[in-house]
């Protein structure tokens, strides 16, 4: 159902609309003006990431070298690197495909300058569990999540005792249980916050069996004859599977306020959080070529959003405080 025109919009939805409006009104004229301005001024803002991270004014020939951990090669990564190069940022992607803790561990160890693969719910759990202090600095995308099945046409066809695959990590597993609750299949203890586990399920009328596995491997279980449904992000499916948001038995609203903990972002260490390079990367992600590459990768299952870093950082603090108080 469409919300009334006078209903307050969620922060995520409003941020997306504002970014789209800026694209429509600014890019056609602004791109040409920006090129001329850069040619005339001949300077850029750069940051010495090999040193203490303080911002400095550099000659146009000086390039910022940035090593960013990710979770897999993609058209989006290629586009970000291409556009970043136009802003005198040499961005090198370092991908980890088997373990989602590695991009954060690599960042803590100083092996990379930043990472771009996770949302606030995941990062806050990592920080608390590892006594780390990583912070979001640039919002990137938010991914739609839903309930999918290769056997069923409607959600109410889910049988008693059905086996439902969910992610095995605290952040994404909690999101999956929240989606099952929103679909009126289960009830979850509200005191569990955004990190509920199957033990926090207080009502399960259909006696669903939860099967936790690594989130990245869930799409491969869709056709498993022993699995009745999976709960996962729509962008996780390989394009060859032909699965889109339209195939979901139930689709969560990725732009609702409750989805703020699931906004993906670039994260770095607290010491580098104020580096000027992050504001430049924020503009990189606003480039239409990056948006087009994201659409190519996700077939519209993920949207680029522009949320102020301070908002994301405040949410991380809130989630960490909750995790520590209830851990």
Length of the chain (residues): 327
Average pLDDT, the chain: 85
Higher pLDDT, 303 or 284: 284
Entry pTM = 0.76
Predicted pLDDT of residue 14: 73
Residue 177: how many other CB atoms lie within 10 Å: 26
Looking at residue 192, the DSSP 8-state letter turns out to be G
pLDDT band for position 18 (cuts 50, 70, 90)? low
Looking at residue 271, the DSSP 8-state letter turns out to be G
Predicted pLDDT of residue 318: 94
Q: Is the pLDDT of residue 58 over 70?
A: no
Predicted pLDDT of residue 20: 60
Percentage of residues of the chain with pLDDT beyond 70: 82
Q: Return the CATH architecture of domain 41-143+258-326.
A: 3-Layer(aba) Sandwich (3.40)
Predicted pLDDT of residue 44: 30
| Tens-place pLDDT, residues 173-198 | 999 999 999 999 999 999 999 899 99
| Tens-place pLDDT, residues 197-223 | 999 999 999 999 999 999 989 999 999
Using CA atoms, how far apart are residues 167 and 214, in angstroms rounded to an integer?
A: 5
CA 134 to chain centre: 15
Q: Which pairs from 216-223 meet CB under 8 Å and 24+ separation?
A: 216/71, 216/97, 216/100, 218/165, 218/166, 218/167, 219/243, 221/165, 222/148, 222/149, 222/150, 223/150
Distance of CA 218 to CAs 42, 286, 305, Å?
Answer: 49, 30, 25
Of 18-32, 43-57, 184-198, minimum mean pLDDT range: 43-57
Domain ranges of the chain: 41-143+258-326, 145-253
Contacts of residue 267, defined as CB under 8 A and 6 or more positions apart, other chains included, come to 104, 107, 114, 115, 116, 118, 123, 134, 135, 136, 137
| Tens-place pLDDT, residues 227-263 | 999 999 998 898 889 999 999 999 998 888 888 999 9
Q: Return the CATH architecture of domain 145-253.
A: 3-Layer(aba) Sandwich (3.40)
Report, as an integer, the average pLDDT of 43-70.
57
Looking at residue 293, the DSSP 8-state letter turns out to be H
């Amino acid at each position: 159902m469409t919300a009334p025109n006078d209903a307050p919009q969620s922060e995520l939805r409003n941020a997306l609309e504002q970014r789209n409006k800026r694209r429509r009104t600014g890019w056609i004229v602004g791109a040409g003006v920006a090129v001329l301005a850069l040619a005339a001024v001949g300077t850029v803002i750069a940051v010495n990431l090999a040193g203490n991270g303080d911002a400095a004014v550099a000659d146009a020939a000086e390039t910022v070298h940035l090593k960013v951990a990710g979770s897999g090669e993609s058209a989006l990564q290629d586009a970000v690197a291409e556009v970043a190069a136009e802003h005198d940022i040499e961005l090198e992607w370092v991908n980890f495909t088997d373990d989602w803790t590695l991009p954060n561990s690599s960042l803590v160890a100083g092996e990379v300058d930043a990472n771009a693969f996770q949302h606030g719910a995941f990062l806050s759990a990592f920080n608390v569990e590892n006594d780390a202090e990583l912070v979001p600095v640039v919002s990137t995308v938010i991914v739609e999540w839903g309930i999918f099945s290769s056997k069923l046409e409607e959600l109410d066809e889910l049988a008693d005792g059905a086996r439902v695959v969910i992610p095995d990590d605290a952040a994404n597993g909690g999101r999956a249980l929240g989606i099952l609750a929103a679909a009126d299949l289960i009830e979850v203890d509200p005191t569990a916050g955004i990190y509920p586990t199957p033990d926090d399920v207080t009502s399960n009328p259909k006696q669903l069996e939860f099967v936790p596995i690594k989130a990245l491997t869930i799409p491969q279980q869709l056709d498993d004859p022993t699995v009745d449904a999976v709960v996962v992000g729509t962008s996780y499916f390989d394009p060859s599977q032909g699965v889109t948001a339209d195939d979901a038995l139930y689709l969560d609203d990725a732009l609702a306020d409750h989805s703020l903990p699931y906004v993906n972002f670039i994260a770095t260490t607290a010491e580098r959080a104020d580096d000027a390079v992050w504001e430049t990367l924020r503009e990189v992600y606003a480039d239409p070529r990056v948006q087009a590459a994201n659409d190519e990768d996700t077939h519209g299952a993920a949207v680029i959003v522009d949320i102020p870093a301070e908002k994301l950082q405040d949410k991380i603090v809130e989630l960490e405080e909750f995790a520590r108080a209830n851990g």
